[in-house]
Amino acid sequence: MRGRHQPWSRERRVVSPTRRQPQSPSSRRLVAGIACLAGLSVSAVVWFRPSPQGGGGAPCPHSRVETKRVGVRDINGRSVFEGVPCEEAVVDAGLCFRNEELYCLPSFIIGGAQKAATGWLRQWLATHPELSQGGEHEVHYFDKLEDSRASDWSSRYLPFFRTASTRHYSFEKTPDYLPNATALAAIRGLLPSVKLVFLLRAPAARAYSAFQHHCRRLRIGAIPASRRSARLRAATTHEAVVFSLEATRAQWARCETLRPPCSPEAFESFLATYDNASTRIVDWGLYALHLANVRSIFPDDQIFVAIGEVALARASAFFEDVVAWLGIRRFDFATLPTYRDALGRQQLRQPGIFGFFDMWYMRLNVAMVHKHAARPMLARTKTRLGAFYKPHNLKLDALLLYQAPAISVFPPRSTIDDGRKRSLLPPSWGGGTTPSS
């Protein structure tokens, strides 16, 4: 992978040229014989290299995967495969490989939703002494595949998960996996027993947050009236606001990039331009639809769904439930040092001198405050989005309460006086089956 350390690459030795000397026929035959033997040795190394598949040294591309593999050691109750893994090897979540350094495939994945506090969850779980985070923030491997076959996992995915010990369980976070059916199928194909954690946020608030997120990355633009196409003029009387990742090249060329923070009026125009669900900024909040797709690929007992607003408000109980579900030992996250950044958000203080300077940078980051200082969503826009999302929220609540009891949820399911189950969704979601606590 370009620009990234490749743990399986071998250093090539550069030999400086020397002056050639005349050789006798016998010397030439000797050199040719040595070269032939060397070539055969190299071929043997290439085609019969040790692999996690085993197969008694059969060529990796053609060998059948066996249950009992060659070169496996059991360390701290986990299987560690020695040597270079083959791309075609059948693997699973949590398996480890050692080739000078130790790499362990993730045991669980935080797969979404985008702008629903997944970064907060990743940051806190990474402090658990038995967990090891893969990638600095987000990995984005499965959502970049062209199909559901993760054919280059050992060279492009495994290197993210260098692990200090087999006592550490790796995980990754990529919130774009939840709405991506191809990514989910690829995860299931490579890591069939991996656990999935999804954090959900009120979809209208999530959509506005996502809009501002892309605005800060200069992906939101407005097309002036003089440059608008006839289709856009017919579609809306508002200013045409488009998203660079979904606009055509011709549309984006006519745009004037909006500077952050984008106005709530621009968000309203954006919704009018895209007619709500035709943009991922809106349809990524159709959680019932996406979870139904997840359930068609993964068993329910491998899925944990949390309501983000409740998880943030009851963080200690939430972390305790997640840790218990993952099957790792209990850890008191409340003992970790924290501080408030310039936006008033609680942040973990990192250890050492770099953590000290990072804390003060986050406390005094005026530019971050300006970029995040967006005005609240317009009331009429909030009402419109609330009406759009309400039937989908009802389906989500019914799914988690009644249709999929094997899915672990937070807050935990409970009942009210008449025996009905209490809605999991807080009032800010605007649509549950029963009154929320």
Specify binding-site residues for 3'-phosphoadenylyl sulfate: 201, 209
Residues within the annotated binding site? 201, 209
Which position has the token pair 């972390």? 319
Q: Which residues pair with 97 in a beta bridge?
A: 81, 103
CA distance 75 to 332: 27
Using CB atoms within 10 Å of the CB of residue 372, give its burial: 0 to 12 exposed, 13 to 18 middle, 19+ buried: middle
Q: Take residue 54 and report the two structure tokens written for it.
A: 């085993």
CA distance 113 to 298: 17
Q: Helix, strand, coil: what percent of the chain each, to 5? A: 40, 15, 45
Which position has the token pair 């990529």? 174
Report the candidate in 260, 187, 268 with the shortest Cα–Cα distance to residue 220.
Answer: 260
DSSP 99: E
Q: Which residues pair with 73 in a beta bridge?
A: 80
The answer to whether 182 and 145 have CB atoms below 8 angstroms apart is yes
Q: Which residues pair with 307 in a beta bridge?
A: 200
Q: What are phi and psi of 36, to 5 degrees?
A: -65, -45
Q: Is 115 a catalytic residue?
A: yes
Instruction: Quote the distance between the C-alpha of residue 32 and its chain's center.
Output: 53
Q: How many Cα atoms sit within 13 Å of 125 on the Cβ side?
A: 30
End-to-end Cα spacing for the chain: 49
The answer to whether 238 and 273 have CB atoms below 8 angstroms apart is yes
For strands 338-340 and 303-307, give the pairing: unpaired
Which residues are annotated as catalytic? 115
